[in-house]
Amino acid sequence: MEIRQPGKYKVKKTFTIRNATTISKIKKGDEITITQVDKRGHKILGTETMDWMPWDLPVEPVEG
């Protein structure tokens, strides 16, 4: 799913994120919070992502 709005999302499939010094897993069933969306660059930033990453992630919006 392309994340185009900030908000809370539930992870549908475990995936790995990386930055220059850390590798981390976001597990299926976790909730992540997206705080910023770069529509021009197709990237998102959130509290769990550690850095900007592509906005196409295996997630679904959390209602309410």
CATH architecture of 7-61: Roll (2.30)
State the average pLDDT over residues 40-59: 94
| Own/partner pairs, 13-21, CB within 8 angstroms, 24+ separation | 13/58, 15/57, 15/58, 17/48, 17/49, 17/50, 17/51, 17/53, 19/50, 19/51
- Containing 38, the helix (H) or strand (E) segment is strand 31-38
Whether the per-residue pLDDT at 13 is higher than 80: the answer is yes
Sign of the C-alpha dihedral computed for residues 46, 50, 56 and 58 taken in this order: negative
For 33-49, the pLDDT digits (tens) are 999 999 999 999 999 98
Delimit the domains of the chain by residue range: 7-61
